[in-house]
Amino acid sequence: MKINLLSFITSYTILSIYFYLVPLLIPMNDLLRFLYLLSFFPVAQLLAKKLFGRGLESYGLIFFNGWYKNLGIGLSIGFIGWSLLYGVRIIIGEYTVIGTKSFTDSLIVLIMICAGFLIGSLISDMIVRGLVYHHFGNRVSFGMLVLISIILYALDDIWLEGLTVSNFIFSVCLGTSLAYAFYKTHSIWANTGLHAGLNIAYGLFFGVTGNVGDGIIQFEITNSNLFFSPWLSSLFALLLFMMIYMVRNWFVKYSVTENHTTTQAEFKESQIPLSP
């Protein structure tokens, strides 16, 4: 267990530095950033081989029969949920839509959003959840697994967005939804689909840079005096959890012990006990 813990900490630290810190130290244009994101996978593969004697499956990246279905379901839930969030922000007057970019510019931005956020979400989930679940899934309780992954996700979000009470609560709510999606499938795809879907919806408004005006939809942000406005993201993160729970039987679960895939209805207990 001590060796495994040391390997986990080493892998998590190296990959986190590579993914989060390197872009801050080295200026990159869009092409260089895209190539840099792709370079993460051979680095992660080499690290997994050295530390664990396995490849990218050490991070939950397993191409089993049905992975694309889980990805598609997660992507749909994430995109719909976050589109509803921005729709509410428009309705309450927090966002005022001015227009959209031209067709050509919109197409370029859309490609950048889909490619950038899909790869970025996959990498983030490999580090924060895949690594945790596939190295401690049969060693600690489910509650501890969720707690570790939520803490790591919250730290990840704090690094990117800063520490505030509302942002911390949002990170916990969204982290719980993402952790549950991983738990129900024993693989990364539903979780990554959910993560990428909400990020793509975000990108329509803010682009890949996170700045107003860089997305396809051009809008202005106005101050909202509504008391619940700062908590909307947290509420919709909980809505995502409810949506995942409602369609939980649609997912295909990867079974390590039986070495094949099963639907939720067919699945028998494996490394991690099923939730109600």
190 within 8 A of 70, measured Cβ to Cβ: yes
For residue 248, give the DSSP letter: G
Which residue type does 111 have?
Answer: I
pLDDT truncated to tens, each residue of the chain (276 aa)? Answer: 555 788 888 999 999 999 988 888 888 888 888 899 999 999 999 999 998 888 898 888 888 899 999 999 999 999 999 999 999 999 999 999 999 999 999 999 999 999 999 999 999 999 988 888 878 877 777 778 888 888 888 787 777 766 778 788 888 888 888 888 888 888 899 999 999 999 999 999 999 888 898 999 999 998 777 777 778 999 999 999 999 999 989 999 887 554 444 444 443 333 333 333
Dihedral angle at the C-alpha atoms of 41, 195, 242, 63, nearest 10 degrees? -30
For residue 270, give the DSSP letter: -
